[in-house]
């Protein structure tokens, strides 16, 4: 799982990633199907089928993504949907990517909480706002909420040190 840090969001970009998780057009994560299946009951269900066998042309271009999970706005919240890809790693149904254009808008706090949760799955610093007890509680409850939504609460014990670190 070799990685390089992305300038955009300081989240590792894994060269061997086979799943793209899209929170918004500007929050895209290239992750591993094995990690997501093991860490979330929802992701295990969405990723239960084998992804497409990538063509030689796609592999020669460096394409490794065989799955795409897109966060969509629904009444009262958000949900992930698995978008089918073809043998070139391209979307079959030509659907748009992401549910929220953050260009000049304040993004919903859940986006940060999904980022924190994905960080937890890779044992990275969660980036919890430690400026006050209230901000720590807000982020902690937000992470728990999205973890419950995707069935990954069991992944959180691995990140206890992030909440107890001294500044």
Tens-digit pLDDT profile for residues 122-141:
988 888 889 999 999 999 99
Taking the C-alpha atoms of residue 46 and residue 43, their distance in angstroms, rounded to an integer, is: 5
Which pLDDT score, from 0 to 100, does residue 103 have? 59
Q: What is the CATH number of domain 3-164?
A: 3.30.710.10
Which pLDDT score, from 0 to 100, does residue 9 have? 55
Q: Where are the domains of the chain?
A: 3-164
pLDDT in tens, the chain (167 residues): 444 433 345 788 899 999 999 998 888 999 999 999 999 999 999 999 999 999 999 999 999 999 999 999 888 889 999 999 999 988 887 665 555 555 566 778 899 999 999 999 998 888 888 999 999 999 999 999 999 999 998 877 655 444 444 44
Global confidence as pTM:
0.83
For residue 124, with 0-12 CB atoms within 10 Å meaning exposed, 13-18 middle and 19 or more buried, which class applies? middle
């Amino acid at each position: 799982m070799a990685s390089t840090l992305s300038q955009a969001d300081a989240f590792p970009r894994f060269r061997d990633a086979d799943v793209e998780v899209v929170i918004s057009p500007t929050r895209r994560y290239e992750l591993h199907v094995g990690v997501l299946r093991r860490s979330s009951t929802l992701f295990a269900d969405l990723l239960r089928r084998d992804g497409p066998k990538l063509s030689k042309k796609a592999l020669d271009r460096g394409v490794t993504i065989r799955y795409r999970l897109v966060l969509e706005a629904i009444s009262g919240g958000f949900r992930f949907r698995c978008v089918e890809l073809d043998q070139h790693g391209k979307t079959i149904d030509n659907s748009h990517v992401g549910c929220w254009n953050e260009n000049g808008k304040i993004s919903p706090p859940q986006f940060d909480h999904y980022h924190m949760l994905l960080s937890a799955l890779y044992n990275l610093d969660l980036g919890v706002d430690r400026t006050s007890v209230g901000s720590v509680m807000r982020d902690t409850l937000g992470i728990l909420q999205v973890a419950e939504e995707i069935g990954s609460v069991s992944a959180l014990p691995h990140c206890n040190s992030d909440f107890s670190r001294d500044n």
